[in-house]
Amino acid sequence: VIGMETFGLGAASLPHLVMDRIWHLLIPSVLGATGGIAVLSRYVRSQMLEVEGQDYVRTAKAKGLPPEAVHYKHALRNALLPFVTMFGLILPGLIGGSVIIESIFSWPGMGRMAYEAILARDYPIILTVNFLSAVLVLAGTFVSDVLYMVVDPRIRL
């Protein structure tokens, strides 16, 4: 991500340039993450509410385990399994979501380029974006499988 620069910064030192870039990337990053976090948090919440009613969670509570142990060891691990499966499909959505952010902040980027290529029927760019989306699906699936192995110790690759 290229970021924007403050006008008149000129030949500033490297730490000032880095902090300026971080400052200008802060709002677009928060904007891009907010929508995804809202959807994922609602999904995890609904999964946790479903898992909290299961028999093994009630059994763990009846055994007298502390509430933190019941939530983190028993409920959260099982509630995260569908979330981890869904997490792998988020990576390709980054290209589509970036179109809005690039339009708002007038940034040149891949999402905007893909949108303009579709309007102009520029097939090589469209095919390249589709290929990169497929690579992101594969990478997301791989990351999802690795995270699934971390969350559920019964799974081995």
Q: What is the 3-state secondary structure (H, E, C) of 77-117?
A: HHHHHHHHHHHCCCCCHHHHHHHHHHHHHCCCCHHHHHHHH
Q: How confident is the model at residue 120 (pLDDT cuts 50, 70, 90)?
A: very high
Q: Which amino acid is at 46?
A: S
For residue 37, the Cα-to-chain-centroid distance in whole angstroms is 8
Asked whether the predicted pLDDT for residue 131 surpasses 90, the reply is yes
- pLDDT tens readout for residues 60-119: 989 999 989 888 888 888 888 888 888 778 877 777 778 888 888 887 888 888 889 999
Q: How confident is the model at residue 40 (pLDDT cuts 50, 70, 90)?
A: confident
Predicted local distance difference test score (pLDDT) of residue 8: 62
Predicted local distance difference test score (pLDDT) of residue 1: 44
Rounded Cα distance between 151 and 153, Å, is 6
Q: Which amino acid is at 109?
A: G
**132: nearest Cα among 111, 154, 102:** 111
Q: How confident is the model at residue 30 (pLDDT cuts 50, 70, 90)?
A: confident
Percent of the chain with pLDDT strictly greater than 90 = 15
